[in-house]
Structure 1
Amino acid sequence: MVDNITFRRHRRLRTSEAMRALVRETSLSADDFIYPLFIVEGENVKNEVTSMPGVFQISLDYLETEIEELHQVGIRAVMLFGVPNEKDEVGTGAYIDEGIVQQATKKIKAIHPEMLVIADTCLCEYTSHGHCGVIHDENIDNDESLKLLAETAVSQAKAGADIIAPSNMMDGFVIAIRQALDAAGFTTIPIMSYAVKYASSFYGPFRDAADSTPQFGDRKTYQMDPANRREALKEAATDVEEGADMLIVKPALAYLDIVREVKNATNIPIVAYNVSGEYAMVKAAAGNGWIDEKSLVMEMFTSMKRAGADLILTYYAKDVATWLKNN
C-alpha cells in the first residue's frame, strides 16, 4: 500500500498475452522480409556456407524448390547475389546477358511471376580483385566504375528484375543507374539503394558465401566509417535527391540508431540489412544452447521495426515467416 502518492498502474495493460497483443505497438509479418539467395553456376550444387549454418549456395536447378518453399511460407521478395565461376578485372559476369543473376531472375519469374526479384548491383562478386569497381594502380576509379554499374543495372532489368539494389557505394551511383534505366525504357523499375553501408567487420561470413573477399587492401575508401552518424544522413539525402526509391542501412543490429535517424530524415521506405555476421553470431550461440533462438530472433527483428525499418533483409527470413505462419 502506498499512502499519499498518486501513481499509474501501467501493468494493467500487461496482464495477459491477449491484453499485450491488443496494445502492441510493433508487429512483424512475412511481408516485412526479403530473403537473400546465393546463386552459383553448375548443376546439382547445394553447398552450405560453413560460417552461416542453414544458408546455401545453390545452382539454378535448385531454384524451383527454393522459390516454392519461400512462396509457401509467404515470402514475397528475394535478393539475388551471383557467384560466377570466372572472374576478371572489370567484373564482366555482372553485366552480360547470360550472367548468373540474369539467368536466375528469368527462372524465378518463370516459376512464380509474382515473386519480387531484387538484384544486388555490384561488381565485387565478379571481379578478380574482389573490389566493387574498376581498379587503377590499386585505387578505385569511381567514375569509370559508374559506367559498368549502370550497364549491370540495365542488364538485370532486361532479365526481369523488379528492383535494382546497388551496393557499391560509389559516389553518384544512384543518378548514374537511374539515368541508364530511364534511357533504356525502365522508368518504372525502383532503386533500393544501399545508401548507408558501413565498412563493417560484420560482413565476414558473407564474403565466404559470395566469394568476394578483396585480394588487397579493404573497402574503407568507399564504405562508411562506423564512427560517423551525420555522414549517414548526408549519404541518405544525396541518394534521395538522385532518385532512390528505398534506402538500405547496413549493418542493422549495431546501427539501429542510424536506422531511426534515416527514418526521421526521409519519407521513403527504409530497409534494415541484418547481415551475415549478425546472423552467424546468433546461430553460433543457438548451436551451443546459450540462447532461445526463436525468441531472440523475433525480439531482434522487432527492435529493427521499432527503430524505423519498413523492411528487413535477412537470412532468417524463411525461418521467421515459418514461425509466424505456425504461431
Structure 2
Amino acid sequence: MSFPIVRHRRLRGSAGIRGMVRETVLNPLDLIQPIFVTFGTGVKNEISSMPGVFHFSLDTLKEEVDEIASLGIPAVLLFGVPETKDAVGSSAYADEGIVQEATRLIKSWYPELIVIADTCLCEFTDHGHCGMVHTHTAADGTVTGDVMNDASLALLARTAVSQAKAGADIIAPSNMMDGFVQAIRSGLDEAGYEHVPIMSYSVKYASAYYGPFREAADSAPQFGDRKTYQMDPANLREAIREAETDVLEGADMLMVKPALAYLDVVRVIRDQFDLPLVAYNVSGEYSMVKAAAQAGWINEKVIVLETLTGMKRAGADMIITYHAKDAVRWLRE
C-alpha cells in the first residue's frame, strides 16, 4: 500500500535537486555543426531561409571553423555547393572538389576536429537527384526520369574515396540508394581506407522539413521528387528494415533524418540496434524555431535546449544541428 500522500515534488524542489536526479544530460560533445562551403572568394552570405547560417567560400571558412573549435564542438558536417554541375555530379568526386578542398583546409587548421563528409550527388548534378538518372522527354517538353540505382553506386563509392583521400574522418552517405553502404565500404577498403567509418543516413524520409536546406545546398530536383528512394513518412517498420540492411552491409553509425517529427523512429532504432545513433535536427526544424523566435513568440534558448534534450532522451547519441554553436553557449551558461 502506498503512503497516503505521494510527494513527487520533493525531487523538484530546487535547481540543485533537479540537477541531481536529471535522467538525460545534453553535452556539447553530442553536437555536430553543419557547414556549407561554396566556390568563389570573399563569400559569407546568409541563407535567407536559415537565419544565422551562411555559405562560406574557402577564404572565409576559417573564421567559422575557428568559432566552432573554440566552442569545443567536436565535429563538422560538410556540404558543398560547386561552381559547375553535370548529369553525373563529377565535381562530387573530383580531387579538387569543393568538399575535398575544404576538408584539407580544416584538417590543416584543426587536425583533431572531426570532419564528416556528406556523400551524395544531389548538390553536384544538374538534375538535382541523388544518383544518375535516365530521362524521358514527352512531346510537350515535360522531362521525367528514373533514378538508376546500381549505376549510381560506383559514383557514390568514388565520391567517398575522394573524400577520405582528402582527409575526411567519417563518410556520411545520404543518397538512399539500395546497397550504398556495401558499395562505399568496399570502395573505401579497396582504396586503403578501411579505417574510415561510415555514418549512414539509414532512415531518411522524403520530408517537407528539408525545404530550407534545398536553398542552402542548391539541390532541389529539377523534375519529379525523391519519393522513389527516400522513405514514406508514414512508415516505421520500414525504418527497421533499412537500418538492419545498413548494419549488415557494414555501417558504423546509423542516422534518423529528420528528427523532431520522428522521435518514435529514433527510439525504435535505438532499441533495435546497438550502433551509435545520430539524429539530424534538419533545416526546417531549425528555421521554424528561428522564425518564431524572431517574431517574439517563443524563448529560443529554452525551446532549442528542450528540443535537443528530447532528441537525446529518445535515444540519439549524437545530434546534427544548425543550433550547435548557440546550444553550446547556452549550455555553458
In the TM superposition, what is the alpha-carbon distance from 1:247 to its structure 2 partner?
Answer: 0.7
Aligned to 1:314: 321
Identity rate of aligned residues, in percent?
Answer: 66
Give matches, 1:228-239, under 5 Å.
Answer: 228-239=235-246
> Is residue 303 of structure 1 aligned with residue 301 of structure 2?
no
> Is residue 201 of structure 1 aligned with residue 208 of structure 2?
yes
Q: Which runs of 5+ in 2 are unaligned?
A: 136-144
| CA distance in structure 1 between the partners assigned to 2:3 and 2:17 by the alignment | 27
> Is residue 166 of structure 1 aligned with residue 173 of structure 2?
yes
Aligned to 1:80: 78
Q: Please, which of 134, 137, 145 is the counterpart of residue 136 of structure 1?
A: 134
User: What secondary structure does 1:193 align onto?
Assistant: strand
In the TM superposition, what is the alpha-carbon distance from 1:8 to its structure 2 partner?
Answer: 1.8
User: What secondary structure does 1:203 align onto?
Assistant: helix
> Is residue 246 of structure 1 aligned with residue 253 of structure 2?
yes
User: What secondary structure does 2:130 align onto?
Assistant: coil
**In the superposition, relative to structure 1, how do residues 10 and 102 fare at CA in structure 2: closer, same or farther (>3 Å)?**
same
Q: Please, which of 270, 274, 280 is the counterpart of residue 273 of structure 1?
A: 280
Aligned to 1:89: 87
User: What secondary structure does 1:113 align onto?
Assistant: coil
Give matches, 1:38-187, under 5 Å.
Answer: 38-137=36-135, 138-187=145-194
Q: Please, which of 223, 229, 249 is the counterpart of residue 222 of structure 1?
A: 229
| CA distance in structure 1 between the partners assigned to 2:173 and 2:249 by the alignment | 13
User: What secondary structure does 1:31 align onto?
Assistant: helix
Structure 1 stretch displaced more, 198-207 or 314-323: 314-323
| CA distance in structure 2 between the partners assigned to 1:92 and 1:322 by the alignment | 39
Q: Please, which of 11, 26, 29 is the counterpart of residue 9 of structure 2?
A: 11
In the TM superposition, what is the alpha-carbon distance from 1:5 to its structure 2 partner?
Answer: 6.6
User: What secondary structure does 1:225 align onto?
Assistant: coil
User: What secondary structure does 1:53 align onto?
Assistant: coil
| CA distance in structure 1 between the partners assigned to 2:66 and 2:3 by the alignment | 60
| CA distance in structure 2 between the partners assigned to 1:75 and 1:60 by the alignment | 20
| CA distance in structure 2 between the partners assigned to 1:96 and 1:52 by the alignment | 28
Aligned length: 323
User: What secondary structure does 2:116 align onto?
Assistant: strand
| CA distance in structure 2 between the partners assigned to 1:53 and 1:65 by the alignment | 18
| CA distance in structure 2 between the partners assigned to 1:151 and 1:7 by the alignment | 66
| CA distance in structure 2 between the partners assigned to 1:71 and 1:148 by the alignment | 32
| CA distance in structure 1 between the partners assigned to 2:8 and 2:202 by the alignment | 40
Amino acid at match of 1:322: R
Amino acid at match of 1:67: V
RMSD over equivalenced CA pairs, Å? 0.9
What are the superposed Cα offsets for residues 126-179 of structure 1, whole Å, 9 maximum, x if unpaired? 000000000013100100000000000000000000000000000000000000
In the TM superposition, what is the alpha-carbon distance from 1:6 to its structure 2 partner?
Answer: 2.2
| CA distance in structure 2 between the partners assigned to 1:145 and 1:291 by the alignment | 44
> Is residue 211 of structure 1 aligned with residue 218 of structure 2?
yes
In the TM superposition, what is the alpha-carbon distance from 1:7 to its structure 2 partner?
Answer: 3.4
| CA distance in structure 1 between the partners assigned to 2:281 and 2:3 by the alignment | 45
What are the superposed Cα offsets for residues 51-91 of structure 1, whole Å, 9 maximum, x if unpaired? 00000000011121111101111111000000001000000
What are the superposed Cα offsets for residues 260-316 of structure 1, whole Å, 9 maximum, x if unpaired? 000000001110000000000000000000000000000000100000000000100
Give matches, 1:23-42, under 5 Å.
Answer: 23-42=21-40
User: What secondary structure does 2:37 align onto?
Assistant: strand
Amino acid at match of 2:8: H
Amino acid at match of 2:146: N
| CA distance in structure 2 between the partners assigned to 1:266 and 1:7 by the alignment | 41
In the TM superposition, what is the alpha-carbon distance from 1:9 to its structure 2 partner?
Answer: 1.0
Amino acid at match of 1:223: Q
Amino acid at match of 2:67: E
TM-score (norm 1): 0.98
Q: Which runs of 5+ in 1 are unaligned?
A: none
In the TM superposition, what is the alpha-carbon distance from 1:323 to its structure 2 partner?
Answer: 1.4
